[in-house]
Structure 1
Amino acid sequence: MGFQEDYTFWSLAHYFIAVQEYRIIQLSKEQDELWLEKLEHKEAKVIRLLRYNLDWSSWMQRDIQETALKAESIRRQLGRKNLPALNIYVTAYPPVDDYEFRITEPYLPENGKASVQTMLIESSNPGSIKQMESVFHDPFTFPGGEYTETDADELKQSALSNAVNKAKKEKALFHFGKPFFTYIFVFIQLGMFLFLEWKGGSTDTAALIKYGAKFNPLILDGEWWRFFTPIVLHIGLLHLLMNTLALYYLGSAVERVYGNVRFVFIYLSAGFCGTLASFIFSPTLSAGASGAIFGCFGALLYFGLIYPKLFFRTMGFNILIVLGINLAFGFTVPGIDNAGHIGGLIGGFLATGIVHFPKKRKSWLQMLFLVFTAGLIAGLLKYGFNEPGKMINDQTAMIMAQEYIKTEEYEKARLLLIDFIQEEEAPSELYFLLSYAEVKEGRLQEAKEHLEHVIKDNAAFHEAHYNLALLYLDEENAAKAKQHAQKAVDLSPEQQEYQQLLEQILERETSVRQ
C-alpha cells in the first residue's frame, strides 16, 4: 500500500480531529482503521475510517454490515435512540465490479438503529473527497503533488498528538482538585445532627431555633448569622441522609473541577443565597444544606455555559434530568422550601461566575458577575428588612411569641405581635397570645379588648372566655365574670380550673347577697 493512501488516510484523520473536533474511540494495532466520535454532530456522530485497497464489492458489503453491528453496539453503550455513522474507505482504486448501488443509501440493519453511510475516497483521485461536502460544511482539499513516507508519518504524529493533548486538557478540567472540604461539610452536618438530637431532637422547633435554623423574626432582630447556620442543620434523619448523599456526589464533582478554595466559596455563597431567598419568599422555619447543594448544580451549569460541548458529552444530560426532577419534586410536594432551592441554584451559578475556573481568568466576565451578584443581594436584603411584615407569617409569629413568653420577655412578645397584627389579618390565636403578654405587663384594658376580639372572631375559644372572666373578676364585674366563666365551662367542662373559677364567682355572689 503506497504512501499516497497513508497520506490521504492521515490527512482525513487530522481533519476530523483538529478541525471537526472528533475524538478517537479506537485505533487498530496496524493503524489502518480508526474510529472517531462526536455526538454533537447530527449527520455523523461516529466515523469509521479504513485504509484498504478494495477489490470486490461483495467484500465491501460484508464489511459494511460488520461496521453497522459495531456502530449498533456503540449506540447501545451510549444509550442513544439513533446513531448515524459515516464509513469511509481510503483506497487506491474502487472495486472492480459494480458497487455504487451498495452505498447509494445508508445501510440500516434489521432491528438496529445505527445507520451507516459509506463513502469511497480514492487517493489517486483528489476530487473524490468532494463527497464529504454533503456532511461537513467545511470542505476538505488535498494539496497537490506526491507524498513521501516522512510526510505521512508527520501527519500521523500531528493527528495523534492533537487527539492526546485535547483528551489531556479535557481530563484536567475534571481533576483540578481532590475532594476535601466536601467531606468536612459532611462531617459537620452529621455532627450537628447528633448535637441537635442530644439537645432535644432535630425536629424540635425550640432546638432548631436555638441553634441556628432560618427563622425570619430573629433574622429581622439582627441575627444575621442565621443566613449561614441553616446550611449545617437538618430536620429529621431522612432529610439528613438525602442531603448528605447529594453533597457527597455533587460536592465532590464541583470540588474536583473548581478546586478546594473555590468550592468553599461557591458552597457557602449558594447556601447564603438559598437562605436569603427563603427569607424573602418563605417565612416558615427552615434548615438544611439543600440550597448549598443546589448551588453545586449551579456550578455545574456554569461549566456547561463555558464548555457546552464537553458538558453535554459528559455529564450534561444527567445533570439536567436530576435537577429537573428535584425542582419538580419541590414544586409538587408540600413542605419543601423550593425558594431556598432556587436561590441556592442561582447563587451557586453566580458565585462560580465570580471565581471562574482555576488558572483561567476572565476578568471582565468575573467583574460583571460580581457587580450583578452584589447588587442583587443588596436589593433583596433591603427589601426584606424594609418590609418586615411580609417576612413573617402566622406560624412564625406564634412560635416567636411563645418563645418570648417562655423566657418571660413579655414586652418583646407584645411588640412582635402588635407589629404583625397591624400588617396582617391575624388569627384569634395571635390575639390571645398578645392579650397574655399584655396581662403580664399590666396592660389589662388592652388585654381585655383583644380577648373580646378573640371571642368575637371565635366564640368557641374557651381559654379566651376564662381569661376574660379573670379580668372582669379583678374589676369586680361579677356579672360579666360569671357570664364568661360559665361559657368556658360549657365549652370545655373537663377543665377543672374553669369549674373552680365559676364556683368561686358563685360563692362571692352568694356572700354578697347575704
Structure 2
Amino acid sequence: MFQRIPSHRFFAEYFGILVRQCQPKSCASDRRSNLRSYHMETEMRPTDHPNDDTGAGQQPLQVQRIPVITLSLIAITVVVYMILTLNGGSQNTQVLLRYGAKDSGLIWEGQYWRLITPIFLHAGLTHLILNAFSLFQLGSLIEFMYGRTRMLVIFLASGFLATLASTLASPNISVGASGAIFGLFGALFYFGLRNPVIFRAVFGVRIYMVLALNLIMGVVIPNIDSFAHLGGLVGGFVTAFGLGLPRERLPRSPKTKIAYAVCAAVFFLGFTLYALNPSKNSWRYHYYSGQSLLMRSNYARAAERLVRANELKPDNEKVAELAAIALYADVASKPITVNDASVARAKLKKALQLNPQLEEAQALLDRINQLGP
C-alpha cells in the first residue's frame, strides 16, 4: 500500500518482489514441476470402483490453469483506475478521499468501508502497473496452491488487516493493493510451514531475501506505508493458518480445523476492535483526526484536535507545526470583524508560539492589530 508520492518512487518498492524474476527457464520449469507434483501426490480421488485398491482407480484431479480470481481482481483495479482518471485524476488527494482512500480520522468516524476500498485504488499508472504485475505473478501462484475461494479470502483479509495497521500507525492517506499482496506472501510462508521440503525445493532461501529486501525498502524509502505491508503479511499468514490448505500432507482433524479457524477469527476480531476504538486520551488519536479534518478544510475542529495533541505530546515538532497551521487556517478562512479580533489574535499568538517560523501567521496578526485593541 502506498501513500501519495511521485510516480518514480514506485519503482523501488517491488524491486525483486517476484519469485520467478531473473530465473532461467529450465529452473522455473523444474519449480513448476515440483508444485505440480505436490498437487498430483495430494489430490487423488476415487473413481466409480471403490473396492479397487490397486491404485488404478485413482487419478489426479485437473489442476486449474486460469487464475480467474487473480485476473478478476486486476480487472477491478484497472476499472477503478479509469474511473479515478475520468473524475479528477488518480493522484488527486480529494479524488482519492472521495472514492475511499484510507484516512484514519474518517475510519474512526465510522466510515468502515474504507478498510477495504483502498485495496482497489492506485495513485498513478506506475503504481497500478507494478501492483497489477505483482498480483498476477504471486496471486496466480496462491490461487494455484489454495484454490479460488481461499485465495480471494486471503487477499481481502490481508488488505483489511493492512489498512487497520496503517490506520493505527500512520496519519497519512494511503491507497494500493500492496498490503494485500504482502498477505499473499504470508500465505506462501504458511504453505512452506506445512510443506517445507517442497517449499525449499521451489523457492529456496531466495524468497526470504526478497521479502526482507521489500520490508527494508519500505522503511528506508519515504512515503511508503510499511505498516500496511507488515500488517498484510501477518494477515495473510493468519488467514491461511485459519483456512488451511485444500490438500494437506498431514490432514487436520475436524476439531483441529475448527480450533485453527477460531484462533484466526479471534485474532482478527481482537485487532479490529483495538484499531477501531483508540483511546480518546491518546495524542495519536487527536493528531490523526486533526490531520484528517485539516485535509477536509474543517479548520476549527482540526485546530482543537491538533492543539490537544500538542498538549499530550509537546515534544513532537510535527504535531506543533500542524497545530500552528490549523490555527492560522482557522483565522484566515473567515472574515475578521472588530468583534472577532481578540479571538483571532489569541489563535495567531498560539500559532506563533507553536511555530515561530510561520510568517503568514505573523503577517495576519499584524493586519489584525491595525484594527485596534
Same fold (TM over 0.5): yes
Going from structure 1 to structure 2, the CA distance change for 1:317 and 1:468 (only over 3 Å counts) comes to same
Show structure 2 runs of 5+ residues with no match. Answer: 1-25, 29-35, 44-59
Q: CA–CA distance in 2 between the matches of 1:325 and 1:222?
A: 36
Q: CA deviation at 1:234?
A: 1.3
Q: Select the residue among 327, 331, 349 that pairs with 1:452.
A: 349
Going from structure 1 to structure 2, the CA distance change for 1:351 and 1:458 (only over 3 Å counts) comes to closer
Q: CA deviation at 1:462?
A: 3.0
Give the corresponding residue for 1:338: 226
Going from structure 1 to structure 2, the CA distance change for 1:447 and 1:369 (only over 3 Å counts) comes to farther
Q: CA deviation at 1:190?
A: 1.4
Q: CA–CA distance in 2 between the matches of 1:165 and 1:373?
A: 29
Going from structure 1 to structure 2, the CA distance change for 1:383 and 1:419 (only over 3 Å counts) comes to farther
After superposition, what is the alpha-carbon deviation per residue over 1:425-449, rounded to whole angstroms, capped at 9, x for unaligned? 3324523423543684987644422
Report if aligned partners of 1:178, 1:255 keep a CA contact under 8 Å in 2.
no
Going from structure 1 to structure 2, the CA distance change for 1:165 and 1:204 (only over 3 Å counts) comes to closer
Q: TM-score, normalising length from structure 1?
A: 0.54
After superposition, what is the alpha-carbon deviation per residue over 1:339-368, rounded to whole angstroms, capped at 9, x for unaligned? 111111111111112221226663444434
Match of 2:175, SS?
coil
Give the corresponding residue for 1:276: 164
Report if aligned partners of 1:192, 1:232 keep a CA contact under 8 Å in 2.
yes
Show structure 1 runs of 5+ residues with no match. Answer: 1-76, 80-163, 478-514
Q: Select the residue among 434, 441, 445 that pairs with 2:327.
A: 434
Report if aligned partners of 1:230, 1:287 keep a CA contact under 8 Å in 2.
yes
After superposition, what is the alpha-carbon deviation per residue over 1:63-110, rounded to whole angstroms, capped at 9, x for unaligned? xxxxxxxxxxxxxx769xxxxxxxxxxxxxxxxxxxxxxxxxxxxxxx
Q: TM-score, normalising length from structure 2?
A: 0.72
Q: Select the residue among 424, 433, 445 that pairs with 2:313.
A: 424
Q: CA deviation at 1:308?
A: 1.2
Q: How does 1:324-473 map to 2 (within 5 A)?
A: 324-358=212-246, 362=252, 363-384=254-275, 385-387=277-279, 389-391=282-284, 397-398=290-291, 400-405=293-298, 412-425=301-314, 426-434=319-327, 436-437=329-330, 440=334, 445-473=342-370
Cα RMSD (Å) of the superposition?
3.3
Report if aligned partners of 1:282, 1:391 keep a CA contact under 8 Å in 2.
no
Q: CA deviation at 1:257?
A: 1.5
After superposition, what is the alpha-carbon deviation per residue over 1:364-389, rounded to whole angstroms, capped at 9, x for unaligned? 44434333333333443344322364
Give the corresponding residue for 1:484: none
Letter in 1 for 2:293: M
Q: CA–CA distance in 2 between the matches of 1:271 and 1:206?
A: 22
Give the corresponding residue for 2:41: 169
Report if aligned partners of 1:174, 1:257 keep a CA contact under 8 Å in 2.
no
After superposition, what is the alpha-carbon deviation per residue over 1:162-184, rounded to whole angstroms, capped at 9, x for unaligned? xx998822586993574111111
Report if aligned partners of 2:158, 2:232 keep a CA contact under 8 Å in 1.
yes
Report if aligned partners of 1:295, 1:348 keep a CA contact under 8 Å in 2.
yes
Going from structure 1 to structure 2, the CA distance change for 1:166 and 1:217 (only over 3 Å counts) comes to closer
Letter in 1 for 2:278: N
Q: CA–CA distance in 2 between the matches of 1:448 and 1:165?
A: 76
Q: How does 1:17-416 map to 2 (within 5 A)?
A: 168-169=40-41, 175=63, 178-358=66-246, 362=252, 363-384=254-275, 385-387=277-279, 389-391=282-284, 397-398=290-291, 400-405=293-298, 412-416=301-305
Going from structure 1 to structure 2, the CA distance change for 1:446 and 1:429 (only over 3 Å counts) comes to farther
Computing the radius of gyration from Cα coordinates, the structure with the larger value is: 1
Match of 2:160, SS?
helix
Going from structure 1 to structure 2, the CA distance change for 1:266 and 1:229 (only over 3 Å counts) comes to same
Letter in 1 for 2:323: L
Q: CA deviation at 1:305?
A: 1.1
Give the corresponding residue for 2:18: none
Q: CA–CA distance in 2 between the matches of 1:173 and 1:336?
A: 42
Q: CA deviation at 1:251?
A: 0.5
Q: Which has the higher contact order (CA 8 A, sep 6+)?
A: 2
Going from structure 1 to structure 2, the CA distance change for 1:276 and 1:166 (only over 3 Å counts) comes to closer
Give the corresponding residue for 1:29: none
Going from structure 1 to structure 2, the CA distance change for 1:349 and 1:460 (only over 3 Å counts) comes to closer
Q: CA–CA distance in 2 between the matches of 1:276 and 1:208?
A: 18
Going from structure 1 to structure 2, the CA distance change for 1:187 and 1:78 (only over 3 Å counts) comes to closer
Q: CA–CA distance in 1 between the matches of 2:27 and 2:147?
A: 29
Report if aligned partners of 1:434, 1:447 keep a CA contact under 8 Å in 2.
no
Q: CA deviation at 1:423?
A: 3.2
Report if aligned partners of 1:277, 1:340 keep a CA contact under 8 Å in 2.
yes
Q: CA–CA distance in 2 between the matches of 1:333 and 1:168?
A: 43
How many residues end up aligned between the 2 structures?
312
Q: CA–CA distance in 2 between the matches of 1:166 and 1:214?
A: 39
- Percent identity over paired residues: 32
Report if aligned partners of 2:324, 2:355 keep a CA contact under 8 Å in 1.
no
Letter in 1 for 2:313: E
Q: CA–CA distance in 2 between the matches of 1:291 and 1:273?
A: 8
Report if aligned partners of 1:283, 1:393 keep a CA contact under 8 Å in 2.
no
After superposition, what is the alpha-carbon deviation per residue over 1:225-274, rounded to whole angstroms, capped at 9, x for unaligned? 11111101112222222111110011111111111111111100010111
Report if aligned partners of 2:100, 2:114 keep a CA contact under 8 Å in 1.
yes
Q: CA deviation at 1:450?
A: 2.4
Q: CA deviation at 1:396?
A: 7.3
